[in-house]
Structure 1
Amino acid sequence: MMISSQKVKVDPRDAKLSMAHFYVAFTALALGGLAGLLQVLVRSGKVELPYGIGYYQVLTVHGVLLGLVLTTFFILGFQFAVISRTAGTLSNRARKTGWIGFWIMTIGTAMAAAMILLNEASVLFTFYAPLMAHPIFYTGLTLVVVGSWIAGGAMLTSYIRWRQHNPGKPSPLLSFMVVVNTLMWIVATIGVAATVLLQMLPWSLGLVDTIDVLISRTLFWYFGHPLVYFWLLPAYMCWYAIIPKIIGGKIFSDSLARMSFILFLLFSIPVGFHHQLMEPGIDPAWKFLQVILTFLVVIPSLMTAFSMFGTFEMYGRSQGATGLFGWLKKLPWGDARFVVPFIGMVAFIPAGAGGMVNASHQLNQVVHNTIWVTGHFHLTLATAVILTFFGISYWLVPHLTGRILTKKMNRLAIIQALTWAVGMTFMSGAMHAAGLLGAPRRSSFSTYGESAQAIEWIPYQIAQAVGGTILFIGIILVLYIFINLAFYAPKGEQEFPVGEVTDNAERTPMVFENWKLWIGITVVLILFAYTIPFIDMIQNAPPGSKGYKLW
């Protein structure tokens, strides 16, 4: 059953575990955001980095801290709170396991960050070979992944305990969503763990002279694309099951929400080749197959849009709205808990369209390795997902710390979201436009000097710098709000909103809880999409300096 009482709180012991994750996440936001500001300023050609700091060093700091550290720690902290709120207080063993996972991840993060700051690991977010980092960097990344597995195990055991105490009942929707995202993460990170442990780390230690670059890139993108959905699904949790409660409505369909999450589990992993469409060594037929599987992910995205706008319209009609769009006026536009994630939802519309371009074989050739891809990345992760995460933190942090979201902080949160939207419009819009002109994805202005192409890109680079500066102001506002809600806001009871399903919704089938079925189908799809291509890569690996011929 769905727990809906406003009096239900996350246990204070579980709240400390969640907040520990948030402290690391928002520290990463501060440092990664500063690196992002320096990055766009350098790219504009108007600023030079001091003290011998390299452009790619700053780029790596920005990508790793925001793309990996911020997201992973925030998501795990959020999911621990969700499990505690909907499936019951964590057991002592699960909570202890969660803390062990947290400290292993934190130690790993510190190791990787130290190497980047010492300029021993300027290998970018994707750390492609033949770029080589210090062994401590790879060891740190391994600890982050292992720590996340341990934390995920604590969540899964809490869900299993709920099922044992409630046989024959569908699990709480939010707990079900946490299980899907955790399983997807565990299966996906097997790829990055394999390439780091079996290829990168022995190579950086000097135990082997060469590695197969094609296999390392393939293993990375086996992980890299479901990573996008690992970021996205917690935002969907908020959109599906929390936003309806915030606006005063009800969840459109419990079954539709669960089906969309199952489809993400099935189709998010066996699609990594669509990031490698321009690479040799992979049979075009297998690329085409994974492009088809990639486009199947559009279905749960459209289901989500249908469900959310169905929820909005039902609420608006219940408040007396008439006409085609009259329900829009009835939404709580003064409530930051709704407005901030809603801006993220709207941003996901052009972001999804750009993703379809990236996954299309012919169109991908136009934008491949251009800054268009970076612009798309900032619409999906840095707008749709991150704004939703900010919206979650504005009520979850005070709930966990025993404080309240004041009117002042609520108003400032809306200002922050609008600031973010303006900054991202400048920066991401300029990136998309410059990408269509061929501007490269990862280059500073000095790379091309005063060439005709570089001069053509200058207006767009300046627009990126303007947008990045505005975004940094947004980051300062977020950090101010977070510190206020964590330490200084008035004491009180802040609701953890959990939506109820509309009365006329269909009953949720128990087949959604059949994990043997869904995990089995996922494994079959992965084996079907990757087994033969991997055999082909190994059998036809180039001699001598293996995959280096790609470079």
Structure 2
Amino acid sequence: MNTLNTKIDPRDGKLVMAHFYVAFIALAVGGLAGLLQTLVRSGKFVLPAGIGYYQILTVHGVVLGLVLTTFFIMGFQIAATSRTSGTLSNLQRKLGWIGFWLMTAGTLMAATMILLNKASVLYTFYAPLQAHFIYYLGLTLVVVGSWLDGAAVLGKYISWRKQNPGQPSPLITFMAVVNTMLWIVATIGVASTVLFQLLPWSLGIVDRVDVLVSRTLFWYFGHPLVYFWLLPAYMAWYVVIPKVIGAKIFSDSLARLSFILFLLFSIPVGFHHQLMEPGIDPAWKFLQVILTFLVVIPSLMTAFSLFATFESYGRSKGATGLFGWFKKLPWGDARFTVPFIGMLSFIPAGAGGLVNASHQLNQVIHNTIWVTGHFHLTLATAVVLTFFGITYWLVPHVTGRVLTKAMNKLAIYQGVLWAIGMTFMSGAMHAAGLLGAPRRSSFSEYGGAAQASEWIPYQIAQAVGGTILFIAIILMLYIFVNLAFFAPKGEEEFPIGEVSDKAEKTPMVYENWKLWLGITALLILFAYTIPFIDMIQNAPIGSKGYKLW
């Protein structure tokens, strides 16, 4: 693998750390909001100072689901590209900084409106819930800023290809490019509904919006958003973890193919979030359910590749028997152990996702807190724990410090504590969801109803889990501050794995973006064109030409 830098240029490092500072501030704010939510749902706590439950619910979802993830991912992808494809040019770095400041300004605008209780519209901001126009404008700036961040990564990739014709690009750079492409294509949906529907509506320019169209455009974005979160974790699993444990990447080609398949199959599948909604022909829902299940293929490819790497490493260390290699893994290294916990959590998370995407089973758990539990296994465990694992080496690498033995030990405790807290909270959410507990409610309106009484033990378990998770967040913030400012000076490796000598040569077809983006566009047009025509033609006309179901 062609790696130009062993250490990130300090100028690129400053840009990376700027993104990380905002991400970890978001972790603190969103984590506190999450703790308050679980305490309110337990029925043992009342929010002070007139703060609304749905206000903190919106803070939690937006700040953690959108702000933390977007800033962290953009920072990580810039770091990975700079490390493997060379230092960013002045123009590329300038694009990154402009993108960062636009995202930050947009975040502050949206957060201010939520805190003023003028945008308590939840993470999905569905119409007919309406927020202040500054909230929608802020979200637009976050998206546009992220495009500029992505442009810096794409620009570096293009310049690398020009300097290295006929060679496959560095694997982690290729992965960052795929995720950037996925993000840009997906965010066209949410940008469209905000700019052309919700923003004019909140400004009073139009009286009504087409609710079904706005929800469909949101979920055109909302499902690939999950893969935008997940693919950076896959980058670490495929490329970084093998180097951390002293192994080699099982197959470069397999890794690239899985990422291409995620690009193809993650976007035209939004209807599986709308299976219970009227106005969409069941045949088109069925088609998108099929496309959703195709995402299982690259997921299983990833699981095979990772565990093949682990087993090969264990065998090379003398492991015997079916699972002897498991004992040989470096369990004392937080850079491995914490992401590995995330990998394991993705097994039940994936199984729950199959339930969500099934038309029949979805009817049982739709709009129950089961969905929230699934969300916390995928994003808040598999992805977030991997992000923490990345933080343990990337932050000291950029700041010129080292991960000490004490911080490494604390990081392992933090990861285990997170797993315990999430087992309580997510497990209780799944169980309560099967009993019909609603997804977003504080449960207070159910009072002493017989059905609500069945949920009380699970609500208390959620509060216990939420409290443990908040303690784990405090530990993580302590570790981050230590690694950024107080850890001893030194050199921390940016681990990039090498491909196994036994792996097949990587074909250049993976770098054919006209082919892959063309297929992606065709799949999207096939999955959405006729349903959109149906929605627009069959919706009743409202005032000023806008339509409302």
Q: Which TM-score applies when normalising by structure 1?
A: 0.99
- DSSP-derived class of the 1:67 partner: helix
Unaligned runs of 5+ in 1: none
In structure 1, C-alpha distance between the alignment counterparts of 2:95 and 2:286, rounded to whole Å: 42
Contact 2:368–2:439 (CA under 8 A) maintained in structure 1? yes
- How do 1:169-184 and structure 2 match up within 5 A? 169-184=167-182
Give the secondary-structure state (helix, strand or coil) at the position aligned to 1:90: coil
CA contact (8 A) 1:267 1:297 kept: yes
Q: Are 2:138 and 1:143 aligned?
A: no
Stretch deviating more after TM superposition (97-106 or 538-547): 538-547
Cα distance in structure 2, aligned partners of 1:179 and 1:532: 30
Q: Does 1:3 align with 2:6?
A: no
Report the Cα distance in structure 2 between the residues aligned to 1:308 and 1:118, rounded to whole angstroms: 46
1:251-270 paired onto structure 2 within 5 Å: 251-270=249-268
- TM-aligned CA deviation for residue 446 of structure 1: 1.0
Q: Which amino acid aligns with 1:262?
A: I
Instruction: Report the counterpart of residue 446 of structure 1 in structure 2.
Output: 444
The correspondence for 1:318, drawn from 301, 316, 319, is 316
CA distance in 1, matches of 2:348, 2:177: 29
Tell me the equivalent position of 1:394. 392
Q: Paired residue for 1:424?
A: 422
Equivalent positions of 1:87-166 (< 5 A) are 87-166=85-164
Question: 1:518 Cα deviation (Å)?
Answer: 0.2
Question: What does the per-residue CA deviation read over 1:164-193, in whole Å, with 9 as the maximum and x for residues that have no partner?
Answer: 000000000000000000000000000000
Residue identity in the other structure for 2:300: L
Superposed displacement of residue 532, structure 1? 0.5
1:14-413 paired onto structure 2 within 5 Å? 14-413=12-411
User: What do the CA deviations read for 1:339-370 (whole angstroms, capped 9, x no partner)?
Assistant: 00000000000000000000000000000000
For residues 52-90 of structure 1, the C-alpha deviation after alignment (integer angstroms, 9 at most, x for no partner) is 000000000000000000000000000010010000000
Give secondary structure in 2 for the equivalent of 1:144.
helix
Which residue identity does 2:3 align to in structure 1?
A: I
Q: Separation in 1 of the partners of 2:122 and 2:472?
A: 24
Q: What residue ranges of structure 2 are gaps of 5+ in the alignment? A: none
Which residue of the partner structure matches residue 479 of structure 1?
Answer: 477
In the alignment, does 2:509 pair up with 1:496? no
Amino acid at match of 1:156: L
d(CA) in 2 for partners of 1:157, 1:198: 29
1:376-411 residue CA offsets vs partner (Å, 9 max, x unmatched): 000000000000000000000000000000000000
One of 491, 501, 507 as aligned partner of 1:509: 507
* 2:165 partner amino acid: P
> Is contact 1:130-1:548 (8 Å) kept?
no
Give the whole-Å Cα distance in 1 for the aligned partners of 2:505 and 2:540.
56
Tell me which of 435, 441, 452 is aligned to 1:437: 435
* Alpha-carbon distance in structure 2 between the residues aligned to 1:3 and 1:158: 13
Contact 1:321–1:327 under 8 Å retained in 2: yes
- Aligned AA for 2:260? I
Deviation at 1:447, TM superposition (A): 1.7
Q: Are the counterparts in 2 of residues 2 and 500 from structure 1 also a CA contact under 8 Å? A: no
SS at match of 2:151: helix
In structure 2, distance between residues paired with 1:205 and 1:449: 38
> Using the alignment, how far apart are the partners of 1:149 and 1:177 within structure 2?
16
Distance 1:85 1:537, change over 3 A: same
Aligned residues: 547
| Aligned partners of 1:241 and 1:498 also within 8 Å | yes
The whole-number CA distance in structure 1 between the counterparts of 2:451 and 2:70 is 38
Q: Which amino acid aligns with 2:241?
A: I
- Residue identity matched to 2:168: P
Displacement of 1:413 after TM fit? 0.2
User: For 2:378 and 2:20, how far apart are their aligned partners in 1?
Assistant: 21
Whether the 8 Å CA contact 1:214–1:547 is kept in 2: the answer is no
Listed one character per residue, the Cα deviations across residues 214-234 of structure 1 (whole Å, up to 9, x for unaligned) are: 000000000000000000000
Q: Distance in 1 between matches of 2:6 and 2:149?
A: 23
Q: Is the 8 A contact 2:272 2:357 kept in 1?
A: yes
> Does the 8 Å CA contact 1:2/1:173 hold for their aligned counterparts?
no
1:454 CA displacement = 1.0
Distance 1:295 1:247 in 2: 32
On the 8 A contact 2:542/2:548 being kept in 1, the answer is no
1:7-53: per-residue Cα shift (whole Å, max 9, x none)? 81000000000000000000000000000000000000000000000
Q: What CA deviation, in whole Å up to 9, does each residue of 1:209-262 have, x standing for no partner? A: 000000000000000000000000000000000000000000000000000000
Q: Whole-Å Cα distance in 1 between the matches of residues 191 and 483 of structure 2?
A: 36
1:547 Cα offset (Å): 6.1
Aligned identity (percent) is: 81
Contact 2:541–2:548 (CA under 8 A) maintained in structure 1? no
Amino acid of the structure 1 residue aligned with 2:50? G
**1:449-464 pair list within 5 angstroms:** 449-464=447-462
Question: Displacement, 1:548?
Answer: 4.8
Which whole-Å CA distance do the structure 2 matches of 1:548 and 1:409 have between them?
Answer: 55
Distance 2:289 2:311 in 1: 34
Say if 2:536 is the partner of 1:538. Answer: yes
Indicate if the aligned counterparts of 1:21 and 1:73 stay in contact, CA closer than 8 A: yes
Q: Secondary structure at the match of 2:127?
A: coil
CA distance in 2, matches of 1:542, 1:91: 52
**Distance between the aligned counterparts of 1:329 and 1:463, measured in 2?**
32
Distance 2:418 2:540 in 1: 47
What amino acid is the match of 1:497?
Answer: P
TM superposition shift of 1:542? 2.2
Distance 1:189 1:543 in 2: 27
Amino acid aligned to 2:488: P
Shift of 1:280: 0.3
> Is the partner of 1:450 in helix, strand or coil?
coil
TM (norm. structure 2) is 0.99
Q: Deviations over 1:486-529 (max 9, x none)?
A: 00000000000000000010000000000000000000000000
